[in-house]
Amino acid sequence: MKILVTGGLGYIGSHVVLSLVNNGYKVIIIDNLSNCGVSVLSKLEKLINSKLIFEKLDLSIKNQVKLFFEKYSNINGIIHFAALKSVGESVINPLKYFDNNLNSMLNIIEYMPKETPFVFSSSCTVYGTVNKQPITESTPHGIAESPYGKTKQLCEKIMEKEFHGINNFKALSLRYFNPVGAHSSGLIGENPKNIPENLIPYLTQVVIGKRDVLTIYGDDYDTKDGTCIRDYIHIMDLAEAHIKSLEYLFRIKDKNYIDYLNIGTGIGVSVLELIQTFEKATGMKVNYIIGKRRPGDIEKAYAETKKAKKIIGWESKYSLSSALNSAWNWEKKSLD
Ligand code: NAD
Ligand code: UD1
């Protein structure tokens, strides 16, 4: 079975490539290297002890996608990660996000072999601000908090259109909560090109001494300790959810199918609790201060996870301590 992984050299994609190979799949990677280094390819090859097929191309350019699918006509499944994902940058330059994220999706759907099972990287950001927790898949979508979030909502709409269109289309859209951590080898992990916006890479960079202090964005929320609550999911759990999703799509007889799954742990953790868990798990101290709220942040978001268990037979296994330990291991190895 040959699986196309778009954005396969990025943070989540690289971990899924590894899991796919370990589960016996052949993998073809597409990436334009806009948010990763080509060195990830050699690290993956080292981990699997064999060569990978890699095509450097930009999915938002129609002709490049057309030529790719002419060259590789025998693809059995697609996992589509490739997208720009910086919330802050999307607010400053929304058109760049609509162009890249929507056109990449449209071009793949236009040129991929029809009926190829398709797994899409969505996000809990599609729900917007939600008052009732945990968030279920049937929670109506609010207003997206950013152009990035809007592109995820629109990509789901494009898939729905295709599902109701003239072609057969089988897809699962996975709405990730907060992916964290790294592969146990410490060879691959989250390696943002710029100053990290997300909590974990910022925190580990402070602890290792690359940055001075972590600012907690607000301690006056209506939560147990005043800091925001999120659902942090280990990257290896997330990788497994993709394998289970593909296998489910291979198994089902329906030629036309679409569904949406929350991928999280179901456990809400505050920023202060996360820092305490990190310190306990690693024995390292986190230098932090309390700052102002970050505009656009929501107070609480954690997943109702029953649907993923029921449909694809997946649930998270790793603890938060283990996820944070793996993130720290990865940060330490980055100094090697
Ligand atoms: P990432 O930036 O590490 O990986 C995305 C990869 O796609 C990068 O390697 C980038 O170079 C590539 N890419 C971007 N545009 C491309 C294009 N036009 N053509 C070819 N390659 C292109 O991000 P990630 O954290 O691995 O996220 C993967 C997916 O999961 C994204 O769709 C993201 O929106 C989604 N997601 C991520 C998170 C998170 O917290 N990391 C949360 C929810 C959803
Ligand atoms: C971010 C994105 C969201 C995306 C999600 C998963 C924003 C506004 N939203 O959400 O669209 O789906 O990642 O990738 O960026 N925090 C601090 N100090 C920091 C960094 C973060 O206190 O330096 C806090 C935040 O206030 C938040 C928590 O840590 O409560 C997690 O933040 P982050 O990692 O940025 O993820 P989200 O805000 O959940």
What are the sequence ranges of the domains in the chain?
A: 2-182+232-264+305-317
- pLDDT averaged over 10-residue windows placed end to end, the chain, 336 residues: 97 98 98 95 97 98 98 96 93 96 97 94 94 94 92 96 85 98 95 87 96 97 97 98 98 94 98 98 98 90 98 98 97 85
Note if the bond before 134 is cis, omega within 30 degrees. Answer: yes
Cβ-contact 133, 302 below 8 angstroms: yes
Task: State residue 292's pLDDT score.
Answer: 97
Which residue, judged by its Cα, is nearest atom 30 of ligand 2?
Answer: 228
Q: Which of 297, 298, 324 to mutate to test the pocket of ligand 2 (most atoms within 8 A of CB)?
A: 297
Q: Is the pTM above the cut of 0.95?
A: yes
90: Cβ below 6 Å to ligand 1? no
Residues 6+ apart with CB under 8 A from 14: 8, 36, 40, 43, 44, 188
Task: State residue 298's pLDDT score.
Answer: 87
Distance from CA of residue 42 to its chain's centroid? 21
269: Cβ below 6 Å to ligand 1? no
Task: State residue 46's pLDDT score.
Answer: 97
Residues 6+ apart with CB under 8 A from 172: 118, 119, 120, 245, 248, 249, 258, 259, 260, 261, 312
Angle between helices 103-111 and 147-163 (to 10 degrees): 20
129: Cβ below 6 Å to ligand 2? no
Cβ-contact 189, 36 below 8 angstroms: no
Cβ-contact 257, 34 below 8 angstroms: no
> Ligand 1: distance of its center to the CA of 8 in Å?
8
Alpha-carbon distance of 164 to 8, in angstroms, equals 29
Kindly report the backbone phi and psi dihedral angles of residue 310, in degrees, each rounded to the nearest multiple of 5, phi listed first.
-70, -45
35: Cβ below 6 Å to ligand 1? yes
Torsion of CA 266, 7, 151, 190, to 10 degrees: 50
**CA distances (Å), 256 to each of 144, 259, 281, in order?**
28, 11, 45
Task: State residue 313's pLDDT score.
Answer: 98
228: Cβ below 6 Å to ligand 2? yes
> Ligand 1: distance of its center to the CA of 134 in Å?
25
Task: State residue 164's pLDDT score.
Answer: 82
Q: Which of 15, 79, 85 to mutate to test the pocket of ligand 1 (most atoms within 8 A of CB)?
A: 85
Number of H helices and E strands in the chain, helices first, is 12, 13
148 catalytic? Reply is yes
Annotated catalytic residue: which of 148, 260, 302, 318? 148
Alpha-carbon distance of 117 to 170, in angstroms, equals 5
102: Cβ below 6 Å to ligand 2? no
Residues 6+ apart with CB under 8 A from 30: 4, 5, 6, 7, 8, 54, 55, 56, 57, 59, 68, 82
**2-182+232-264+305-317 classified as CATH 3.40.50.720:** yes
Task: State residue 295's pLDDT score.
Answer: 82
